[in-house]
Amino acid sequence: MDINRYDDIKFSTDFKTFSFISTGPKGNLVKVVQFIDFRHVQASHNLALGTRRGDVIDYNETTDNGDRDRILATIFHIATAFSHGYPDQRIFIRGRNQATTRLYRGTINHEYLNIIKEFIIYGGIYVENEGRYNFEQFISSKQYDAFLFERRQ
């Protein structure tokens, strides 16, 4: 992504937990990105974004610190680093609500040409009566419930 990102990223030795500082009008907030084994989709990890509040990571808070695009660029950089360490694992991304999922779709559309250099993108529709996602090659005009990124080999 061509957007300025945060550079001071800390990471765990297994490359599954990353953190960086979001700076803005609400102060310095510790953002945490975790890759959690996701048993609902074969060979994948769920990308979870949260804000550290003491010893707790809040995954539901919208911090609105004025640096959304910079955070998204940082997450893309982190996802790329994760995929280098785990090239056979796909990255599952779903917003905590429809608005966040729409934001992710808009960002994917906007940065599509940059993202496809690293990843094949799939859009997923949740099939409630089957309790699973059906994934297809990403179509920019289509609404999805989730996204799956597969590292290009």
Residue extents of the structural domains in the chain? 10-151
C-alpha span between 81 and 61 (Å, rounded): 25
pLDDT 10s digit of each residue in the chain, 153 long?
567 999 999 999 999 999 999 999 999 999 999 999 998 899 999 999 999 999 999 998 888 899 999 999 999 999 999 999 999 999 999 998 999 999 999 999 999 999 999 999 999 999 999 989 999 999 999 999 999 999 998
C-alpha span between 52 and 18 (Å, rounded): 12
Closest by CA to 80, choosing from 149, 140, 6, 5, is 149
Contact 4, 70 (CB under 8 A): yes
Is the pTM value of this prediction over 0.85? yes
| CA angle, residues 114, 116, 118, in degrees to nearest 5 | 90
C-alpha span between 115 and 112 (Å, rounded): 5
